[in-house]
Amino acid sequence: MEQAVDKKEKQDKIVGMFDDIASTYDLTNRVLSMGIDIKWRRTACDRAYDILDNKNLTQITDVACGTGDLLLFWKEYAQKKGVEVQNYVGVDPSVGMLEVARKKIDFAEFKEGKAQELPVEDTSTELISISYGIRNVVDRVEALQEFYRALKPNGIVVILEFTKQSRAGLFDKVVDFGMKKVLPRVGGLISKNYEAYKYLPDSIEDFLTTEMLVKELEEAGFTMRYTKSFTMGISTLLIAQKI
């Protein structure tokens, strides 16, 4: 019981942090990533549609959708590839993030909800995505089980995340310095919330390796279809399928 309370408090604290930085979130991300995250998202969408190989989708569900950035890419690539998508749904526990998303995007439905308690019907969606949000989910195993429940047979889950790496080389030391020293200061300056951007490198350090996340996906019943590391291992794309 005490552990459940601790988990809830930790999850609520994370959600509150994202509420605080919602208004500056998009600007801060673009500055900190220098736009390179756009390439990562485009690759994820392009590859996912090819793996799914379905031209008529009932629903795409973006979990921990934040301000809705990834949904823009899902729609863009659906149009490029001739894929008809009936419904786009964004789910996030942060009311602040959803307020920004609703102002920015008019083609999607946004719902307040957690990854481990998706407000989505059983076998109702062909594609679930979560970009740079799975490490913020306290009950990650439950979330993966929820993804499996909500996906249609042959549906896919698409994860973009900063996975933990073993860093030893010169480039790795530069990356570590940037993440632990530069990122919190720049992010804090723009958002006026230093602690939120100090949390980012700390959360990556405490997160799983790619291999560990793959194992958790497989234990949840998924079959791995694709993994790709970006920019010397800073970011990782994983695509798994419900068979």
Half-sphere exposure of 129 (CA within 13 A, CB side): 28
- State the Cα–Cα distance between residues 189 and 198, nearest whole angstrom: 12
Tens of pLDDT, residues 187-199: 556 656 656 666 5
User: Which of the 8 DSSP states describes residue 136?
Assistant: G
* CATH 3.30.930.10 at 2-166+208-241, yes or no: no
Q: Determine the 3-state secondary structure of 191 from DSSP.
A: helix
H or E element at residue 50? helix 36-52
Both tokens of 101, joined, read 């998303």
Tens of pLDDT, residues 106-138: 999 999 999 999 999 999 999 999 998 898 888
- The pTM assigned to this predicted structure is 0.81
Domain ranges of the chain: 2-166+208-241
Tens of pLDDT, residues 188-228: 566 566 566 665 656 656 667 889 999 999 999 999 999 99
How does DSSP assign 69-130, residue by residue?
HHHHHHHHHHHHHT-EEEEEEEEES-HHHHHHHHHH-SSEEEEE-BTTB-SS-TT-EEEEEE
Tens of pLDDT, residues 51-76: 999 999 999 999 999 999 999 999 99
* pLDDT of res. 29: 61
Crossing angle of the two packed helices 95-104 and 25-33, in degrees rounded to 10: 80
CA angle 140, 67, 193 (to 5 degrees): 80
Contacts of 5 (CB under 8 A, 6+ apart): none
Tens of pLDDT, residues 125-174: 999 999 988 988 889 999 999 999 999 999 999 999 887 655 555 545 55
Contacts of 23 (CB under 8 A, 6+ apart): 96, 100
